[in-house]
Every structure is written in structure tokens, then in C-alpha cells.
Structure 1
Amino acid sequence: MTSSPLDVHPGSRLVDLFEHGLDAPICLTWELTYACNLSCTHCLSSSGRRDPRELTTDEAKAVIDELEAMQVFYVNIGGGEPTVRPDFWELLDYATAHHVGVKFSTNGVRITPEVARRLAGNDYVDVQISLDGATAEVNDAVRDSGSYATALRAMGNLADAGVKNFKLSVVCTRHNIPQMDDFKEIADRYGAQLRLTRLRPSGRGADVWDELHPCRNSNGSCTTGCCPVASRCSPVTPSFICPRTGRRCRA
């Protein structure tokens, strides 16, 4: 993703801009909507219905104007499913036109071939497709029936359009940990980067924590070990440390 331009005056030194730290965050996370076409059992924001208080198009653009003025590098947009907002693509174009890069997470439902081609032409956009099972059986059990096929179709559209280095995002659960190498094969097939994230006991995730948390089984022993693909995953993702073994997975 291309970063925002730095305002460097003639005769000034670039290092001086960082003497006292940055004046604004590099990245902000923005839950643009709680509306979603899925009802994932482990959703950390309990998304589903649209919040009537969510920002209008003009209000959202005003936020983007502020981010540009602050020289925020990029905004990480989630939800909910951000692409179900009718104005999502308008807001995405508005942000990138105002030097605010956009990373967004999606289940892929709106990533059509046409949309994929549009995304391929924008260097300010980073796309992340969510998939929580390397098979339809495992994925659809937590992300709704048909969501596996939807995600793979979206990745195929992105790959065909020439979108480079989009992310395949996996929430690690007890049921998909044995599929890590299969996830890596899927990512490689579509030219994606594999990104592993932790299950969080928030929203509906709190309700299924004991069932899905990958480091606790019926006898209390660790079910994960070290992630077999950790060294090949995206280096920018957070670390996961097994609380029982202390082993780190760079995921």
C-alpha cells in the first residue's frame, strides 16, 4: 500500500519530523458498520444488524477529511461487513483520493470480477478475505453455509484481476489449527499472504470461547504446538504465545 506524502519544507531535514514522534497515528481502525450478511459464531463485534447511529456518507467523508489533515497513513476498515454499505466504494475512493490508504476486511460477498478489477487499479487499497476453515465443513460451521465458496470465489476474482499480496485472514480455532498447511496451500494458489489472528473473547466470541479456543481441550493440554507455517506467514501480524508452553507463533 502506498503511504501518504510527507510535508517536508525546502531546507528542512526529514529526520526532524520524527524528533518528537509522530503527530498522529499511523493507522486507525474504523468499524464502519455493524451490518453484516453473515452471523459468524465468533464475531468479536456481534455484528448483524445495522446500528441506526452509524455515520452518514457526508459524516464519514468529514472523518476522512480529518484523517487527511492529521496525515494518518491508512485506515483499517472492518465491521460488520463494510461492503454492504451502499456508499462503501464511494467512501473508499474518497479516502484514497485524499491520501488516506484503506485496508478493509471482507467475507468476499461483494468482490465481483468488476470490483476486483477496480481494486487492482488502486495502490492505496489492501484487501483482506476472511476464511476460518480450509474446508467448507470447518469454515461454514462458524461462518454460515456457503461462505467458504464465497471467499474462494472472491480470492479467484482478485487473483484474476491481478491484485497483488491481498491477505487471507484466519482466526485460529481448535477446529482449524490442524489445517494450517492447507490454508497456506490455498493462499499460495491465489497469490495471497496468509494472516493468522487470535480468537478474542469479545462479542459472540465470548460465548464460544471454551468451544473454539485452540489452547485448551478437555484435559487442559495445549492443542496447537507451534504453528507449522509461522515462518511463511505475513511478518506484520501479531504474535501468538501459547499460555501453557510459552511457544510463540508469528501469526
Structure 2
Amino acid sequence: MVRVSNNLVGLLNIVTLLLSIPILGAGIWLGHRAHTDCEKFLERPVIFLGVFLLLVSLAGLVGACCGVSWLLWLYLLVMFLLIVVLFCFTVFAFVVTNPGAGEVVSGRGYKEYRLGDYSHWLQKRVDDDGNWRKIRSCLQEGKVCQRMEERNQTLDEFINNHLSPIQSGCCKPPTACNFTYRSETVWDKPSGFASSTNSDCNTWQNDPSILCYDCQSCKAGVLANVKNDWKKVAVVNIIFLIFLIVVYSVGCCAFRNNRNDNAHPRWKGGYA
């Protein structure tokens, strides 16, 4: 007789299997229409996640419901490794995102961001040319600055406005540059301006395809977003870890049931 724990593992893996299909489909769809670095950057992890969930759920489903002990053992091994990796990532996320915060600018409704305030590990990630090219592509395709420009605000309205870290870091020059405001993404450099000790002032261009996308402040704004997102992900991971531990425990019961069924006649089986 099939045990309760086996049925439960099978049910959970049916749900996971059904979830993996749209995830894998989304990855394949992205792969067919990926023309930019941003789309290609998103495509691979989505396909990997879909395939991973599909294979693991199939192993758990067949192993639990068909009494295939070696598949269930493999399923439990993967689950154990996933728990360890997820635990390590959660701790790592809290550690690397601990430093770094926006600086309040006097008389402004928004904050500004400095790359040096964030962990060295995160700084190296955004300073890498290959990584930044992909991130920059995503920022441009997301039209964050273009949407901000559509507000058509006066200077007073703009300086009292709340800006996201990316809008503050990528769509305008730093306040310390003392550029003259024309619109949200158009700022005039002072007459006679040659260069500044602040590299972002030299990098800024009114060209919509350039703006401050290569500024240190833009990279810092991205890291501010990453920090906020990773904090949320870390909290979700804790909840997910508890769920995985429960599933792993039930899976261990199912594995024990399989071993008992293989060692003894089925009429001696009970419920677990």
C-alpha cells in the first residue's frame, strides 16, 4: 500500500512539475525573441530554473509514487544540496547588502548614491565591463529616464520629487556638479566648464542614450536597488527554506517506506 508520505511527496512534485512548464516556456519564448543583451541576460537563468524544476519534480514524483528508491535518493540529495545552497546564499545576501545607503541632499526630495559606500564584492560586479554592458542595456530598454522626462516638471517640482535610486543616479547629474536645469534629463554645464574632480560631471551627456548611464552614481543606484531586492529575497528565502526542510523530512519518510517495501512483503506495510 502506498504510504501517506509518498502520496504527499508525489502531490507536491506534481504542483512543482506544473509550475516548471510555464517557467520553461517563458525561457524558450525569451530565447526566440532575444535580440538585445538584456533579453539574453534574462533568458538563460529562466530556462535553467525551468529545466531544474522539471527534472527534480519528475525524480521526486516517480521515486515516491512508483517506489523507485534510487530516484528518490537522488531527489533527496538534490533537495539537501538546495537547502545548503539556499541557506548560504541567504546569509551571503545579508552580509554583502549590509553596507550602503543613499545620502540625503539638502533641499532635495531625493537621495544620491556613491559607489564606494557598497561592499567591494558588489562594486566589482558592476565595474566589470561585460556585466555593466548588460545592465546598461536593461536600463535603457526599461525607459526609466524617458518616463521621468515625460513629467515635464519645473525645477522646484523636480527637486522636491521622490526619485528612485536608478532615476537619481542614472537620469541626472550629481547635485555637486551645479549644472543648470532645463528638464528632468537635460542639464546645461556652466560656461567655461572643462573638467571636474567628480568624474560623473565629466561623464554626463544630454544625449538620451548616454545621460549618466556610465556614471559611478548610476552603478551605485543599481546597487541600491539590488540591496533592496536582495533583502526582500533573503526574507522570502527564509520562508522557502522552512518549506524545503518540511518537504525534505517528508521525502525521508517516503524513502524509508520504499526501503521497507523492498525489504518486506507489501502486506506488512503500514502508514507513515
Both proteins in one fold, TM over 0.5: no
Task: Name the structure where strand makes up a greater proportion of residues.
Answer: 1
Shorter-chain TM-score bucket reads: under 0.3
Q: Which is helix-richer, 1 or 2?
A: 2
Structure whose alpha-carbon radius of gyration is higher: 2
